[in-house]
Amino acid sequence: MSLELVCPAGNLPALKIAVDNGADCVYMGFKDNTNARAFPGLNFDQASAREGIRYAHAKGKKVLLALNTFPQADKWQRWQAAVDNAAELGVDAVILADPGLMQYASRTYPKLRLHLSVQGSATNYEAINFYHEHFGIQRAVIPRVLSLAQVEQVVKNTPVEIELFGFGGLCVMVEGRCSLSSYATGESPNTCGVCSPAKAVRWEQTAQGLESRLNGVLLDRYGANEKTGYPTLCKGRFEVNDETYYAIEEPTSLNTLEMLPQMMEMGIAAIKIEGRQRSPAYVEQVTKVWRAAIDAAKRAPQAYNVNPAWMAQLGKLSEGQQQTLGAYHRPWK
Amino acid sequence: MNLPAFNIPSPIAKAISMLPTYPPSFVLSHVLNLALGRLIDPAALEPLRGKLIGIHVTDAGLKFFFSIGNKGFVARKSGGTPDLAFSATAHDFLLLATRKEDPDTLFFSRRLLVEGDTELGLIAKNTLDAVEMPRFDVAELMPRKVLGRLFA
């Protein structure tokens, strides 16, 4: 199977730049809370979605649409209309998390290809196969909690294609189950499509350092040369027993370049790049690096070596101080 | 196009910082108005209407202030804390303007400071990101052409 590179597009220029630089697929969302990057000014309206799909298809690339928040009971029609719109626009697949929406999509548009979003939080083959049997899910994006050995077990026991995250910001990674943001702001990804909504975020340069606050809660205070991260509760430094430290998780970026040959060997269908909230410049730089890496790994898997220039480029784009292989690299079971 | 890194020499910066802020703000707001309507959808910037926006070019010691009114961008005299303020060096602003760098990247590495209303900042960033840049045409920037548009 050929490994696909799936790149983020928060707007039309990012979509085009991803396609131009070697993405096999781009994923995007509509301009509302039907997707988990519902930030002001981001995402696609009808005209830009149509143009984006036209552009990608003209170059033989695919467009995936994220409809990966959970419909709220009083606004179900919004999510239903988004599925209708996606089918009408002719996207290559919709990425869903909610079983109710999967049922609607699979019954109404039997030919529409369905992907299981990472927000669906399926971490074992039983769960994935359940979605496959009931709704015909053809691909699943795996939450960033499994080791590579565990991913391999999943791949061996399901007919569903498996997509893994390859690069991008990491959070506490209980995807689809995290409501930390709601704790401080009343809004979190599953229900409102946003973690740490911008309206609740304040950055302020003070005499003690650069402070980030979420709805008034002090998340972190950065020294002059410290790299910052996204203003989320999981990445804050907190006082615990008279000690101030990253009590939940340190800001890091996932980078799995060195595992590419193993991922290909075990039959992973696609590598996903995080970052629909980032600008076209990020999309261009990340897409170039991953295209080069995937091509190198396909050409000669045995001779594959991570080019230091790739690592330097991705390091520059990363959030926080470091990059990690995340849960993928974990010798214990 | 690769931009060599540069910093504005401090004697020049010192001289610039002593100049009044209104004239450069006036020029900047007119340049931005050239893009409004043609490239930028005015409706997208509606939440920014009436807000005081500051741009601080740190190495040049240069500050611009403007806001968005009925007819587009308007130069403003400083006064009060801006609702939204961006600070970076001239070189980094240039990298952002030419889409060579991602604002989050510069922000993480402390080269870009965004203060004030984060949501307004995000609206500004995402609106500019969504602009489809026309092919760069140097002729468009010839003084006669720009002046012609300014006083049209």
pLDDT digits (tens, 9 = 90+) for A208-244: 999 999 999 999 999 988 888 889 999 999 999 999 9
pLDDT confidence bin for A303, thresholds 50/70/90: very high
Q: What rounded mean pLDDT belongs to chain B?
A: 79
Residue B2 has pLDDT above 60, yes or no: no
Which residues in chain A are closer than 8 Å to B102, comparing Cβ atoms?
A: 278-282, 285, 317
Q: Does A12 touch chain B (CB under 8 A)?
A: yes
The answer to whether residues A164 and A311 belong to one domain is: yes
The answer to whether residues A41 and A133 belong to one domain is: yes
Locate the chain A residue with the closest alpha carbon to B45.
A41
3-state secondary structure of B27: helix
pLDDT confidence bin for A54, thresholds 50/70/90: very high
Assign residue A87 the CATH number of its domain: 3.20.20.380
Q: CA-CA distance, A4 to A264, in Å (whole number)? A: 10
B108 contacts A320? CB cut-off 8 A = yes
For A199, which of B103, B114, B119 is closest by C-beta distance? Answer: B119
3-state secondary structure of B74: strand
Q: Which pLDDT score is estimated for B3?
A: 58
The pTM is what? 0.89
B109 contacts A13? CB cut-off 8 A = no
Q: Residue window 22-81, chain A: list those with CB within 8 Å of chain B.
A: 39-42, 48
- Closest approach of chain B CAs to the CA of A145, in angstroms? 25
Q: Which pLDDT score is estimated for B140?
A: 56
Q: Is the model more confident about B81 or about B18?
A: B81
pLDDT confidence bin for A262, thresholds 50/70/90: very high
pLDDT confidence bin for B34, thresholds 50/70/90: confident
Task: Indicate the residue among A216, A246, A276 that finishes a domain.
Answer: A246
Range of the structural domain that residue A213 is part of = 180-246
Locate the chain B residue with the closest alpha carbon to A286.
B102
Q: How many structural domains are present in chain A?
A: 2
Q: Which pLDDT score is estimated for A207?
A: 94
B110 contacts A222? CB cut-off 8 A = yes
The answer to whether residues A267 and A146 belong to one domain is: yes
Q: Which pLDDT score is estimated for A142?
A: 94
B118 contacts A10? CB cut-off 8 A = no
**Within a domain: A333:** no
Q: Which pLDDT score is estimated for A333?
A: 62
Kindly list the domain boundaries of chain B, sorted by start residue. Answer: 10-150
For B102, which of A198, A205, A281 is closest by C-beta distance? Answer: A281
Number of H helices, E strands in chain B: 6, 5
Over range B81-91, report the average pLDDT: 92
Q: A28-37, A166-175, A242-251 — which is least confidently predicted?
A: A166-175
The answer to whether residues A213 and A125 belong to one domain is: no
The answer to whether residues A271 and A299 belong to one domain is: yes
Residue B141 has pLDDT above 60, yes or no: no
Q: Which pLDDT score is estimated for A75?
A: 94
Residues of B with CB under 8 A from a CB of A: 44, 47, 99-105, 107-110, 113-115, 118-119, 121-127, 129-133
- Closest approach of chain B CAs to the CA of A278, in angstroms? 7
Measured CA distances, A124 to A98, A144, A155, B50, B102 (Å): 17, 12, 10, 52, 36
Q: Which pLDDT score is estimated for A331?
A: 66
Number of A/B CB contacts below 8 angstroms equals 93
User: Any idea what DSSP says for residue A195?
Assistant: S
Q: Which pLDDT score is estimated for B78?
A: 75
CATH 3.30.56.10 fits B10-150, yes or no: no
Q: Which pLDDT score is estimated for B128?
A: 85
- Closest approach of chain B CAs to the CA of A42, in angstroms? 5
Which residues in chain B are closer than 8 Å to A12, comparing Cβ atoms?
A: 130, 132
The answer to whether residues A52 and A162 belong to one domain is: yes
The answer to whether residues A256 and A272 belong to one domain is: yes
Q: Is the model more confident about A163 or about B23?
A: A163
User: Which residue is associated with the tokens 């709805």?
Assistant: A215
Residue A320 has pLDDT above 70, yes or no: no
Which residues in chain A are closer than 8 Å to B112, comparing Cβ atoms?
A: none
Preferred mutation among A37, A42, A227, A252 to probe B, highest tally of B CBs within 10 A: A42
Q: What percent of chain A has pLDDT over 90?
A: 83
How far is CA A205 from its chain centroid? Answer: 30
A204 contacts B115? CB cut-off 8 A = yes
User: Any idea what DSSP says for residue A11?
Assistant: S
Residue B1 has pLDDT above 50, yes or no: no
The answer to whether residues A266 and A144 belong to one domain is: yes
The answer to whether residues A188 and A161 belong to one domain is: no
Long-range CB pairs of A55-60 (<8 Å, 24+ gap) are A55/A15, A55/A16, A55/A19, A56/A15, A56/A19, A56/A26, A57/A90, A59/A19, A59/A20
Task: Indicate the residue among A208, A224, A246 that finishes a domain.
Answer: A246
- Closest approach of chain B CAs to the CA of A235, in angstroms? 13
Preferred mutation among B102, B111, B136 to probe A, highest tally of A CBs within 10 A: B102
Greatest mean pLDDT among A153-162, A227-236, B39-48, B62-71 lies in: A153-162
The answer to ipTM > 0.90 is no
Which residues in chain B are closer than 8 Å to A42, comparing Cβ atoms?
A: 122, 126
The answer to whether residues A112 and A65 belong to one domain is: yes
Rounded to 5°, the CA angle B35-B39-B42 comes to 85
For A228, which of B44, B101, B108 is closest by C-beta distance? Answer: B108
Q: CA-CA distance, B146 to B138, in Å (whole number)? A: 11
**Within a domain: A19:** yes
The answer to whether residues A58 and A111 belong to one domain is: yes
Preferred mutation among B126, B127, B132, B136 to probe A, highest tally of A CBs within 10 A: B126
> DSSP alpha helices (H): ranges in chain B?
10-17, 22-35, 90-97, 103-108, 118-129, 143-150
The answer to whether residues A163 and A77 belong to one domain is: yes
A11 contacts B130? CB cut-off 8 A = yes
User: Any idea what DSSP says for residue A311?
Assistant: H
Q: What rounded mean pLDDT belongs to chain A?
A: 93
pLDDT tens sequence across A5-44: 999 999 999 999 999 999 999 999 999 999 999 999 999 9
